[in-house]
Amino acid sequence: MESLTGWWDDFFWGSLVVVQVFFVSLVLMVFFGLLGSAAKLSNSKALQKIANGYTIVFRGTPEILILLLFYFGSAITLTAIVNVFDPSIKFVDIDPFWAGSIAIGLIVGAYATETFRGAFLGVDPGQIEASRALGISNFNTFVYIRIPAMWRLALPPFGNHMLSLIKDTALISVIGLQETMFVAEQATANTGEPFVMYLAVGIIYLSFSTIITLTVMGYEKYGNKHLEVGK
Amino acid sequence: MNFDFSLIISSIPQLLEGLGLTFQLWIFSGIFGLLLAIVLMLMRISGKWYLSAPAMVYIYIFRGTPILVQLFIIYHGLPQVEFIRESFLWVVLREPFGCGILALTLNTGAYVSEILRGGVKGVPKGLGEAGAALGLSKMHRFIYITTPLAVRLAIPAYSNDVISLMKSTALVSTITLLDMMGIARVIVSETYAPYEIFISLMIIYLVITWATQKAFALFERRMSRHIIQ
């Protein structure tokens, strides 16, 4: 344990990066998930096909492959674009933070698409009819009836998606983001104690997972407070 | 930047050279992981706290941390510990291949045991009671009544986990193994053509995923053949 002395602050800043990636990719995941489920539930065949292609590709290939494709692909594309204006520039890349967050948001968004789709379909059509009978507008029906009812159904799998998100952040160290795995690598190079360092990373991630699990459990109780199961 | 289709054609055979390693990792850790999962699941439903508590802690730890961290602890970390280097485990941990299989096995075991437990819990209680009324022992009830039904219930979730195990095998490229992902990273570093190589690899992985889903769908249909729809 004494080998961790001097590395506490590095691990702290690394954890902060993990939290940042988590929140950015969480927003993206919800965005892509809602967009994907809306496309799958729409009447347009073309939109359905695009959404199906999206979920098949992002759920069927390894996360690390998508991450590397995003990072190196965006770098080569950006370099080509920049070279049009200034041929002297040899290499441009986007920040691993953004490449990683977007890639993870897209990957878990594909899983969230299926969750949201199932949850929207699980809303009792009688509720929608009732709101229509009361003269509530389509938009208000969506915001005040569909979303709260769907949310209750989507929350348990959504919690699992958040756990996937936090665990996938560890992969971003592969493209050079300075989060906890990266810190552990540096600390190992300095101290020669990989076991302690990676164990520390494991404990950090375990505490994040615990926080997420407990938050989702509490929120589930809150979301079900009107129902019998919540009491 | 231009998209080179001939590079896709020429890289696919190279990538497929890693298919054997990917499959070895997938199948070995899949089988060992399933055995581990059965043990963990039996511990969990045993009703004895000294069996279920360790299983719960194990599952909590392995599901709560990224598999990359687990892989690095095993590959980079464990050789640092003296008594491991002197024990029989060293035969496995000396090679990155053994580390990869160990990490994938330990990880998938935790997930699959929860899936199996879900299957067992999904079997209606009345069936077990009927078996008891017919004089079957507890063990016979579990083997002949609960297990076949639980397997059928667990297949859809289990197939998802088998696919995610296949995807996880790509992570061994970070510990110097040359599976398909590892070969792709080498080719990209030589040709600097990430789109062509990585997209070819995506296609290969998608085909494997698709075939796995189809195989499990067939298996599920076979297991459900007595059910009147």
- C-alpha–C-alpha distance, residues A57 and B68, integer Å: 22
Contacts of residue A98, Cβ cutoff 8 Å, sequence gap at least 6: none
What's the whole-model pTM score? 0.91
Residue A227's pLDDT is 74
Task: Please give the residue of chain A at the shortest CA–CA distance from B202.
Answer: A61
**Is pLDDT at B124 greater than 80 in this prediction?**
yes
Candidates A75, A79, A167; nearest CB to B66: A167
Helix A96-122 crosses helix A8-41 at what angle (to 10 degrees)? 40
- Does A107 reach chain B within 8 Å, measured CB to CB? no
Chain A hits for B188, Cβ within 8 Å: 68, 72
| A177 SS3 class | coil
Residue B14, class by beta-carbon neighbours within 10 Å (0-12 exposed, 13-18 middle, 19+ buried)? middle
Per-residue confidence band for A220, with pLDDT thresholds at 50, 70 and 90: confident
Residue A86's pLDDT is 79
Candidates B65, B68, B198; nearest CB to A206: B65
Does the beta-carbon distance from B205 to A60 stay under 8 Å? yes
Percent of chain A with pLDDT strictly greater than 90 = 61
Structure tokens at A63: 């996360």
Residue A93 carries which DSSP code? Answer: -
Residue whose token pair is 């590079």? B7
The model's pLDDT over A163-188, given as tens digits with 9 standing for 90+, comes to 999 999 999 999 988 889 999 988 98
Residue B121's pLDDT is 92
Residue A229's pLDDT is 58
Residue B212's pLDDT is 95
Mean pLDDT of B141-169: 93
By mean pLDDT, which of A53-67, B81-95, B211-225 is the weakest? B81-95
**Residue (of B192, B160, B126) closest to A75 by Cα position:** B192
Mean pLDDT of A26-47: 94
The model's pLDDT over A82-102, given as tens digits with 9 standing for 90+, comes to 888 877 777 777 889 999 999
Does the beta-carbon distance from B73 to A198 stay under 8 Å? yes
**Is pLDDT at B20 greater than 70 in this prediction?**
yes
| B89 SS3 class | coil
Mean pLDDT of A129-148: 90
Contacts of residue A100, Cβ cutoff 8 Å, sequence gap at least 6: A21, A25, A67, A70, A71, A169, A171, A172, A175, A177
Mean pLDDT, chain B, as a whole number?
Answer: 91
Contact A72, A149 (CB under 8 A): no
B39: how many CB neighbours lie within 10 A of its CB?
Answer: 14
Structure tokens at B205: 């992985």
Does the beta-carbon distance from A184 to B72 stay under 8 Å? yes
- C-alpha–C-alpha distance, residues B13 and A130, integer Å: 59
Contact B181, B173 (CB under 8 A): yes
Question: What's the length of chain A?
Answer: 231
Mean pLDDT, chain A, as a whole number?
Answer: 90
Residue B192's pLDDT is 83
**Is pLDDT at B75 greater than 70 in this prediction?**
yes
Task: Please give the residue of chain A at the shortest CA–CA distance from B169.
Answer: A62
**Is pLDDT at A222 greater than 90 in this prediction?**
no
Residue A76's pLDDT is 85
- Does A205 reach chain B within 8 Å, measured CB to CB? yes
**Is pLDDT at B229 greater than 70 in this prediction?**
no
Residue whose token pair is 């920040």? A95
Does the beta-carbon distance from B181 to A62 stay under 8 Å? yes
Structure tokens at B180: 């398909």
**Is pLDDT at A231 greater than 50 in this prediction?**
no
**Is pLDDT at B225 greater than 90 in this prediction?**
no
- C-alpha–C-alpha distance, residues B68 and B48, integer Å: 33
- Listed by number, the residues of chain A in 154-173 with a beta carbon closer than 8 Å to a beta carbon of chain B are 163, 167-171, 173
Between A120 and A3, residue with greater pLDDT: A120
A176: how many CB neighbours lie within 10 A of its CB?
Answer: 14
**Is pLDDT at A147 greater than 80 in this prediction?**
yes
Beta-carbon contacts below 8 Å between A and B: 120
**Is pLDDT at A230 greater than 70 in this prediction?**
no
Query: What is the DSSP annotation of A209-225?
Result: HHHHHHHHHHHHHHHTT
- C-alpha–C-alpha distance, residues A107 and A61, integer Å: 9
Q: Cα separations (Å) of B65 from A64, A199, B107, B137, B173?
A: 16, 10, 9, 40, 19
Residue B24's pLDDT is 95
